[in-house]
Homo-oligomer: A and B are copies of this chain.
């Protein structure tokens, strides 16, 4: 095929010289098949973790701006080395930093959002017959500082570039074969999905499917970028994320997802003051803490006090405590935390038209002696907070109950020639 393709390789795919050469061979093959190729790379293997460790050796709470200057070096190293490998294979290659690639972000360091992609330099390099390697996960702020997009930001870089240069497809190369309808490590009969709709993928990423970063799927949906999530080690087709309209049909349930990194925070003795809940959520939002489920019980009597519980990623607990401390003190609120929580969710576009799904979920978990502590739903998702140690049982039970085991008999294979 001709046209333009964005290929994104994760850290494990460029961990050492051997793998970089293998990725380079794959990139060159794509180029020789006639495509204009833009490649987005992550930092090598554990490089980012190493740099973070170096920073923490220096400072308990490193300056965010300097953290970005530090971390952004990892992807640049990957790109420079890959460009060398590609040049040795007889192809023109050029590496670009996020800034050189025209990725303009806001100024919120370590969690920057992309504001604009000025791809003229990339287009120029493609016109000059280059394979263009772009350092993922980073950009340049409106204040001309180096910024990073947060963990997994390289997926977002890839999708944003694909949108900006109007690529035919954004291929995300990863160490799994694609998107599965449950974690194969927990459910051996989990099935690889050939296609998933953006909405389903969004719910899956949001509820624990680690294969694609939530923001990248969001970005892809908003800009109509077709994502092909596939293995970087074998050449078999993976999973294509495409628009609702393009999907063949809507199965009742598409996948069971889970996460074990949840923590539940309960604020006890919340005064029945108007707007108190608002202050709590605002404080958490300002601290960039992603609150998932929120439950608030109404006080029964006028002098009684309300209680409020919510779940946050365990990694955000420190930030959450810090953000809530002043409010807790001001209103003499007790903060209780349970950090051993998990969450199991079922996702499926077909759910909309089947009210019985929720009941089946609760029954299934109940029959398996799994105590549901919180529930949240969307038109195509039902999530239950359960004790962390019960998560594997819950996933297996739901996967079986909704008959999600392979082989794929639910929908026809997609033709993948166009992505090969």
**Taking beta carbons and an 8 Å cutoff, which residues of A are in contact with B?**
17, 20-21, 51, 54-55, 57-60, 62-63, 65-67, 69-70, 72-73, 76-77, 79-81, 83-85, 87-88, 93-95, 97, 100, 121, 144, 146
CB-CB under 8 A from A83, the residues of chain B are 63, 66, 69
Check if B66 sits within 8 Å of A70, measured CB to CB.
no
Interface of A, helix, strand, loop or mixed by DSSP: helix
In-complex Cβ contact of A84 among B20, B63, B80 (8 A): B63
Q: A69-B95, A94-B65, A95-B66 are in contact. Are A58 and B76 (CB under 8 A)?
A: no
Given pairs A60-B88, A69-B76, A121-B144, 14 additional interface contacts (CB within 8 A): A20-B58, A54-B77, A55-B81, A58-B81, A58-B84, A62-B84, A63-B93, A66-B87, A66-B95, A67-B84, A69-B83, A70-B80, A73-B73, A100-B144
Q: State the CA gap A121–B144 with chains docked (Å).
A: 10
A121 — which chain B residues lie within 8 A by C-beta? 144
Q: Which residues of chain B come closer than 8 Å to A85, judged between CB atoms?
A: 58-59
* Contact, CB under 8 Å: B100 / A84: no
Which partner residue on chain B sits nearest A61 by CB separation?
B88
Residue of B nearest to A79 (CB): B69
| Closest-CB distance, A414 to chain B (whole angstroms) | 36
The residue in chain B whose Cβ has the minimal distance to the Cβ of A121 is: B144
Q: Do B66 and A80 have beta carbons less than 8 Å apart?
A: yes
Kindly report which residue of chain B lies nearest to residue A17, judged by CB atoms.
B57
A54 B66 Cβ-Cβ under 8 A: no
- Quick one: given A66-B95, A73-B76, are A58 and B144 in contact (CB under 8 Å)? no
Q: Chain copies in the assembly?
A: 2
Also in contact, A59 and B79, with CB within 8 A (given A94-B65, A95-B69): no
Q: Which residues of B contact A79 (CB under 8 A)?
A: 69
Residues of chain B within 8 A (CB-CB) of A72 are 76
- When C-beta atoms are compared, the residue in chain B nearest to A24 turns out to be B58
* Contact B73–A59 (Cβ < 8 Å): no
- Judge whether A58 and B17 touch: CB under 8 Å: yes
Which B residue's beta carbon lies closest to that of A74? B73
Which one of B17, B69, B80 lies within 8 Å of A67 (CB-CB)? B80
A185 to B51: give the CA distance in the assembly, Å: 36
Task: Note all chain B residues with C-beta closer than 8 A to A77.
Answer: 51, 54, 70, 73
Taking CB atoms, residues of chain B closer than 8 Å to A144 are 100, 121
The complex places the Cα of A66 from the Cα of B91 at a distance, in Å, of 14
Specify which chain B residues have a CB less than 8 angstroms from the CB of A55 in the assembled complex: 80-81, 84
Chain B residue nearest to A78 (CB atoms) is: B70
Task: Kindly list chain B residues whose C-beta atoms are within 8 Å of the C-beta of A81.
Answer: 54-55, 58, 66, 70
Partner of A87, one of B17, B54, B63, B87: B63
B59 near A70 with CB under 8 A, answer: no
What are 22 A-B contacts with C-beta separation under 8 Å? A17-B54, A17-B57, A17-B58, A54-B81, A55-B80, A58-B85, A58-B88, A59-B85, A59-B87, A63-B93, A66-B80, A66-B81, A66-B93, A67-B80, A69-B83, A69-B95, A70-B80, A70-B81, A72-B76, A73-B77, A100-B144, A121-B144
The 3 A-B pairs of least Cβ separation, nearest first, read A73-B73, A70-B80, A17-B57
Residues from chain B with Cβ under 8 Å of A100 in the complex: 144
CB distance from A196 to the nearest CB of B (A): 36
Name the CB-closest residue of B to A99.
B99
* Chain B residues within 8 Å of A17, by CB: 54, 57-58
Closest to A146 in B: B97
Q: Which of chain B's residues has its CB closest to A83's CB? A: B66
Bound-state Cα–Cα, A69 to B77, Å: 7
